[in-house]
Amino acid sequence: MKKTGIIMLMAAMLMCCLPAHAQLGNLINKGKKAIEKAKDVKKQVDDAKKTVDEGIKKANGDVEFYYMDTYKGFYRSKSGKIVIESRSDKKTVYSIEKNGDITTDDGSKVGQVLNNGAINCHNLSPYLTVAANGDVVMDGEVIGRIDDAGKVAWEDQVIGKAPGINKQVAAYIYFGILNDKQTITVRRAQIKEEQLRAEQARLKAAQEQEAKRKAMAANQAKNAQSSSKKASTNTKKSSTTKATTAPKVKEWSIEKGSNRGFVDANGVVYNSAHRKIGQLPNGSGDIKDENGSTIGRISMGDIYDRSGKVCTVSSGGSISVPGSNATVAEVHAGGRIDMNKDSKTLGYCDVRPYEWAVAIIFCDIFKF
């Protein structure tokens, strides 16, 4: 009798619990639906905010700018404001006034943008100057360039893009705000040191290769002479051995327009009839014509003709001219030399070092 009573009590308790579990399940489902709905509403709000922000930026003529692919801020062309942003949402605002003054958001004057291309800032007048062609000049030297598409280059490296921004404003952003004179000076010194080390390494490698080539040529000539003497002794056809000829020196063809020629591994330059018309130096030295008169010079990547310095060739084959570090032409695969401005091909000469090819094709030292 007692067992039956216990069973009935347990059954009654179970029946009471079932509705409670059902209510809890309904509450959980309602909560999930509410969360999903809240997410949808938030997304709609975010999308609407993004649309409004884009509309505001377009109306104000905002142009975003980046430094080495990292977002740094925007330029509001309608009001002439430069806005520098950071991860902490802190903003620094510079204004380019109509009279050329540069002021901060508290009204303090920090510089000037002048009609002659000069920019005054950091208590220096001028701090830098932007030439009509986009060259950025500091202390009389070209440190960078801003082209018509807004591409900003420092030495030969592209550091940012500022399309649609006035070149003086872009120069102030990249060389006056995102960099200063100290960092620019230090970096330029590092670049020059790296270029010097690379050039020294290239010259050393070229000298070692030339010494190895000469040793191999001398050894081949010696072996050939020895073989010739042995053959003469065995045949006993003549008491006088025939003179042996040294192996032919490797040559590379020269093509410039309809003109042709050759240059060999010793730096001897020939015309299409294979007549010697000049001599290039191994490493640094004088460039001579067929009579041995000096008509130019090569020194640490710099090439000169009788009138002075013509260009500079980097270890990678980039060609720049005096007054600018910008690359004006390049040596490509197969010895093809193209102008950067219009991709015009000047000629072909797949010889090393690059100075030889550039002296022949770009500088036209031998008048091909």
Average pLDDT taken over every residue of the chain: 85
Torsion over CA: 256, 205, 192, 297 (sign): negative
Question: So what's the pLDDT on residue 199?
Answer: 85
Sign of the CA dihedral running 321, 186, 146, 138: negative
Convert the pLDDT of each residue in 289-310 to its tens digit. 999 999 999 999 999 999 999 9
Domain boundaries in the chain?
A: 63-181, 251-360
Is residue 128 pLDDT above 50, yes or no?
yes
What does the DSSP 8-state code read for residue 316? T
pLDDT greater than 50 at residue 240: no
Do 253 and 349 contact (CB within 8 A), yes or no?
yes
Nearest CA-CA partner of 185 in 133, 131, 122? 122
- pLDDT of 364 strictly over 80: yes
The pLDDT of residue 144 is 92
Laid out side by side, the sheet with 70-76 consists of 62-67, 70-76, 81-85, 91-96, 101-104, 109-113, 118-121, 124-130, 135-138, 141-146, 151-154, 157-161
Q: Which band of pLDDT confidence, cut at 50, 70 and 90, is reported for residue 223?
A: confident
Q: Confidence class of residue 248 from pLDDT cuts 50, 70 and 90? A: confident
Task: Please say if the pLDDT value at position 245 is more than 70.
Answer: no
pLDDT: is 228 or 100 the higher one?
100
> pLDDT value at position 288?
97
